[in-house]
Amino acid sequence: MTDARCTRGVREPLEPGCYVEYAVDDQAGVAARARAYLTDPTAGEVVVPRMAATVMLVSEGKPHFRRFENPLPGAAPVEETVPAAPVDVFMLRRASTMAFTPDAVVFPGGGMDARDLDADVPWGGPDAKAWGQAMAASPERARAVITAAVRELFEESGVLLATDRAGKFPADARGDHWACERAAVASRTVPFGAFLAERGLVLRSDLLRLRSHWVTPESEARRYDTYFFLARLPRGQHADGRTTEAVEAAWIAPAEALARFDAGLLKLVPPTISNLTSLARARSVDEAWELPFDGHVRPRPVARPGGEVALGCTVGEA
């Protein structure tokens, strides 16, 4: 039996060995699939999860203006300055046409591509063996996931976690923020490794920090095996959110994102809520970098009293 003192909700920072349980979305059909799975786990086909990577790109918080409509009849809109938070994180609002988590606000990321398995991608920082040990994965899978994380961040934000052999970050002074290169990589016209090699760049795995690992429950029709990473915004670069998968992009304080979720202004999924909750503890970007690994989270349907269902699991060491 799980020690009640170790029980965590999705709105509390996770840690290995603790139990986490969260409600499911009836509108998205998650609850119906969870009930069917509990009734007979063998009734439907269990989809093999697709490997994926997500990056929480962070920077020092900055003050910003917020404008919203005044609910009083005839009143002018309200404008206010939001004080700087210790840390801001870059997030995207997914397009409503997306098959997976439409309209949700997420971190940049996506599924692993076959070309991410290419061992010829120029590399710097901890090697695949070291990452495999940290991720509880094979070196080959760890290298591919790291490559996917850096590639997806580049495609969706324009931020490139790569340097030349001397450790200098590239600068794109043309004003299009790598538009042509990003389009070629995103369309798979040019392999990411070839893009780096042609410019004398190496992927910098040491610019990523492992945060958590979530696997979509077996009851779901679309499943992902997703590693979440943290990365600092490199000096001289900026994130722009120019991607066909998103309709909006912005920097936001983790606590503010959670507050907007509570107010019904943002759609967040449990892994995003959990990672934001952990990140909200940090009082600086350096402190965010030093946050401990949240753990491996593999939720499954569980029955609640009264016929309700939830998704829950004990956060694992591996």
**Would you state the pLDDT for residue 96?**
62
pLDDT tens-digit series, residues 54-65: 999 999 977 665
- The reply to whether the predicted model has a pTM over 0.85 is yes
**Would you state the pLDDT for residue 145?**
98
What's the rounded Cα separation, in Å, for the pair 196 and 192?
Answer: 6
**Could you give phi then psi for residue 16, rounded to 5 degrees?**
-55, 135
**Would you state the pLDDT for residue 72?**
61
What's the rounded Cα separation, in Å, for the pair 174 and 270?
Answer: 39
Q: Which class is domain 47-64+80-299?
A: alpha beta
**Would you state the pLDDT for residue 2?**
36
DSSP 203-270: EEGGG-EEEEEEE--TT-SS-EEEEEEEEEPPTT-------TTEEEEEEE-HHHHHHHHHTTSS---H
**Could you give phi then psi for residue 200, rounded to 5 degrees?**
65, 30
What's the number of CA atoms in the CB half-sphere (13 Å) around residue 178? Answer: 27
Per-10-residue mean pLDDT of the chain, 318 residues long, equals: 50 86 76 89 89 96 63 65 83 70 84 90 96 96 97 94 91 72 92 94 97 94 95 91 79 91 85 93 96 94 86 84
**Would you state the pLDDT for residue 3?**
38
DSSP code for 72: S
